[in-house]
Amino acid sequence: MDLFDYMRSSTMEKESPLASRLRPSSLEEIVGQQHILGRDKLLYRAIKADKLSSIILYGPPGTGKTTIARVIANTTKAEFTQINATAAGKKDMEKVVADAKDRMGMYGKKTILFVDEIHRFNKGQQDYLLPFVEDGTLILIGATTENPYFEVNSALISRSIIFRLEPLSREDIAALIKRAVCDVEKGMGAYHGEITEEALEFLADMSNGDARTALNAIELGILTTEPSADGKIHITLDVAAECIQRRVTLYDKNGDNHYDTISAFIKSMRGSDPDGAIYYLARMLYSGEDAAFVARRIMICAAEDVGNADPQALTVAVSAAQAVERLGMPEARIPLAQAAVYVACAPKSNSAYMAINEALDWVAHHKTEPIPPYLQDASYSGAKNFGHGIGYKYAHDFENHYVKQQYLPDGVEGHSFYHAGDLGYEAQMKAWIKELKKEG
């Protein structure tokens, strides 16, 4: 390192964001993630013993993935190399591999490669790493906010241990905030700041388990707040609210939170809980979810889970989807809420859903039987020469517009696909069909 590199490194260390400066350098300094970093846990023991195998760290932003990698860098005897998947190209990867081979061949020294945002690598880039991970040339540490089972090659997954990081608890965030305010060497202690208990609790809650968000808010608060008469900077609830502006929502429209939230939304409607449905709807809309996507899910739930117990539910859902298209946000939130509440409160039946699935399964696994001739199309010239339509009984010519007649093909006759439920309007349908068949 020359003088300029040294000066640049020193300046960056002093001027880097608080969240970066406060990053732990040892396992003991890490706050939270005790389910994987407790003293009796595998990852803790592997890092301490410097016997790490390839791992993937998976979790939301601000939960410590890069922190754990940096701690490993500070404790391992292996060479630690870091690349970011958003910027690294093939030449970068080839150089890492070449250096690792030379290091292993000349000095018998292992190389740990930390790939931040590994889900950004395409299939070809991930495949390139595979043989070198497999033969031990590289020990891979991948960090990702996306579910690795969806975003990382199964071959790499099978050669790695996946550790899932959880959002930090409020207590963990509060501990980090206190450290940031008081730490003179790495934190903001030199500014003589103080934070009220109300502001501490507010920031710990509003950060939603993201340490970086909380630390950024504290840094902004201390740097932009004038000292009081006592010479101290007081972080009050009002100051904290200004610094964070709004609650951080754990929501990625292409990731786990997207699927988990829409799943909870649908299950709340299916489970007849309008409060749960409205809550998850609000979370999605607040986070910028596509209103048209939400409308489609309500339509599906109306057909699948309400069905003929209340046929009006699908009409309401479709109308809401049309309103979303014509209104746009924020007004579209109202018809979406109306439809979600209607579907949640409606009586439930999945009979039609089960019927079509059962019929599709039958068609897929049984011989396609010929349609009875009297049901076949008789509208074209010469159709009757083939027997089409002959013997067909026109239902409207009979009492109650019903006549007993075989509609299923031979070989399928007598099989029942639709089993009507006993709730709402479907109960009336069931009773009506039962009465007709009795009279027939």
The pLDDT score that the predictor gives to residue 250 is: 61
Distance separating alpha carbons of residues 400 and 394, to the nearest angstrom: 12
The pLDDT score that the predictor gives to residue 1 is: 45
CATH topology (fold) of 363-439? post-AAA+ oligomerization domain-like (1.10.3710)
Residue 234 is inside which H or E element, if any? Answer: strand 233-235
Q: Which residue has the tokens 């390839």?
A: 54
CA distances (Å), 62 to each of 15, 85, 144, 259, in order? 20, 18, 11, 20
The pLDDT score that the predictor gives to residue 386 is: 80
| Structure-block tokens of residue 54 | 């390839």
Is 343 within 8 Å of 301 (Cβ atoms)? yes
Is 332 within 8 Å of 291 (Cβ atoms)? yes
Which stretches within 18-89 are classed as H helix? 18-21, 34-37, 42-48, 65-75
| Structure-block tokens of residue 406 | 């075989």
Verify cis geometry, omega within 30 degrees of 0, for the bond prior to 330. yes
**Which of 333, 335, 424, 412 has the alpha carbon at shortest distance from 366?**
412
The pLDDT score that the predictor gives to residue 440 is: 56
DSSP labels, 79-135: EEEEEETTT--HHHHHHHHHHHHHHHHHH---EEEEEETGGGS-HHHHHHHHHHHHT
- Supply the pTM of this predicted model: 0.64
Which stretches within 328-381 are classed as H helix? 333-345, 351-365
Walk along the chain (440 residues) and give the pLDDT tens digit of each residue.
454 444 444 444 456 788 888 888 889 889 889 999 999 999 999 999 999 999 999 998 888 899 999 999 989 999 999 999 988 888 999 999 999 999 999 999 999 999 999 999 988 899 999 999 999 899 999 999 988 988 898 999 999 999 999 988 889 999 999 999 998 888 888 888 999 998 998 898 888 788 888 999 999 999 999 999 998 999 998 898 888 876 556 666 666 778 889 999 999 999 999 999 999 999 999 877 889 999 999 999 999 999 999 999 999 999 999 999 998 888 999 999 999 999 999 999 999 999 999 999 999 999 989 999 988 888 887 778 788 888 899 989 988 898 899 989 998 988 999 999 999 999 999 898 888 877 65
Alpha-carbon dihedral sign for residues 407, 413, 414, 420: negative
**Which of 163, 166, 142 has the alpha carbon at shortest distance from 153?**
142
Distance separating alpha carbons of residues 133 and 152, to the nearest angstrom: 14
- CATH number for the domain whose boundaries are 33-164: 3.40.50.300
Residue extent(s) of CATH 3.40.50.300 domains in the chain: 33-164
Name the DSSP letter for residue 56.
Answer: E
Q: Which residue has the tokens 């409205």?
A: 278
| Structure-block tokens of residue 24 | 């732990």
The letter for the amino acid at 433 is I
Q: At what angle do helices 170-182 and 197-206 cross, to 10 degrees?
A: 120
**Which of 344, 274, 351 has the alpha carbon at shortest distance from 316?**
344
| Structure-block tokens of residue 132 | 């070198």
DSSP labels, 174-197: HHHHHHHHH-SSSSSGGG-EEE-H
The pLDDT score that the predictor gives to residue 252 is: 61
Is 349 within 8 Å of 313 (Cβ atoms)? no
The pLDDT score that the predictor gives to residue 253 is: 61
Residue extent(s) of CATH 1.10.3710 domains in the chain: 363-439
Q: Please enumerate in sequence order all residues whose Cβ is within 8 A of that of 25, keeping only pairs 6 or more positions apart, or say none.
A: 70, 71, 74
